[in-house]
Amino acid sequence: MSEIAGHVTVLDHPLIQHKLTIMRNKETSIAGFRRLLREIAHLMCYEVTRDLELELIDIDTPMAPMKSPAIKGKKLVFASILRAGNGLLDGMLDLVPAARVAHIGMYRDHETLEPVEYYFKAPSSLEDRLIIVVDPMLATANSATAAIEKLKERGANNIRFLCLLAAPEGIKRFTEAHPDVPVYTASIDDHLNEKGYIVPGLGDAGDRMYGTR
């Protein structure tokens, strides 16, 4: 892990980087892309939750009573920005099956690059829960910024943002809008092109996951 300016962490584990290279390759199949995103989500989930607080709870093993560590506090919330966020969400839920889930339906208008919201459903109490927002792509950051504004309006006060790829332009905008939300990513790419796509990137994450265009 390498931390940039105390706010952005690049998850540079070799397995994450290797799998990401295969995902970027335009020859990778839809099935392969989806499977790799889920596998990377396992590795990223491990990193993004590594500082969670533990408490000792009383249990009985078949041999003896003991105090054993368990994650402290309220259940985590994973918030997926649809559609592509669901690729990361599935892998996160493999590791934390009891997490609560928020779905935030948003797509980018191709002309304005502004997010259009079409769905929002979140657990009723968001205060004092760790909320990990997931979306593979942070391009202009318009979608992530708007999604996190919605969560904050609903009381969220402890948020992390997890993506696969980020553009420098998106990181700048995001950290200005939400300086209290740490960002975790596998790569900060070179730039955004004139259509708002990350370069070199991996293309349209939703289309590559679901075989749409």
* Token pair in block for residue 139: 């391009």
- Asked if residues 109 and 123 have their Cβ atoms less than 8 Å apart, the reply is no
User: Considering all CA atoms of the chain, what is the largest pairwise distance in Å, rounded to the nearest integer?
Assistant: 65
| Catalytic residue list contains 112 | yes
* Token pair in block for residue 127: 């205060």
- Pairing relationship of beta strands 183-185 and 159-162 according to DSSP bridges: parallel
* 197 vs 4: CA distance, rounded Å: 23
| Catalytic residue list contains 108 | yes
**CB of residue 203 to ligand URA, shortest distance in Å:** 6
| Nearest partner of 186 among 66, 24, 72, 33, judged by Cα | 24
**CB of residue 188 to ligand URA, shortest distance in Å:** 13
Task: Give the residue with the Cβ less far from ligand URA, 106 or 198.
Answer: 198
Stretch that binds ligand PRP, among 3-11, 26-34, 69-77, 136-144 (CB under 6 A): 136-144
**CB of residue 77 to ligand URA, shortest distance in Å:** 23
- Asked if residues 49 and 98 have their Cβ atoms less than 8 Å apart, the reply is no
Kindly state whether residue 142 participates in binding ligand PRP, applying the rule CB under 6 A.
Answer: yes
135 is in an annotated binding site: yes
| Nearest partner of 89 among 43, 125, 135, judged by Cα | 135
- Of 170, 171, 175, 189, the one binding ligand PRP (CB under 6 A) is 170
Binding mask 138-157 for ligand URA (x = CB under 6 A): -x------------------
Helix (H, G, I), strand (E, B) or coil at 19: helix
Q: With CB under 6 A as the rule, give the number of residues binding ligand URA.
A: 9
> Which positions touch ligand PRP (CB under 6 A)?
81-84, 107-108, 113, 115, 135-144, 170, 196, 204-206
> Which positions touch ligand URA (CB under 6 A)?
137, 139, 196-198, 201, 204-206
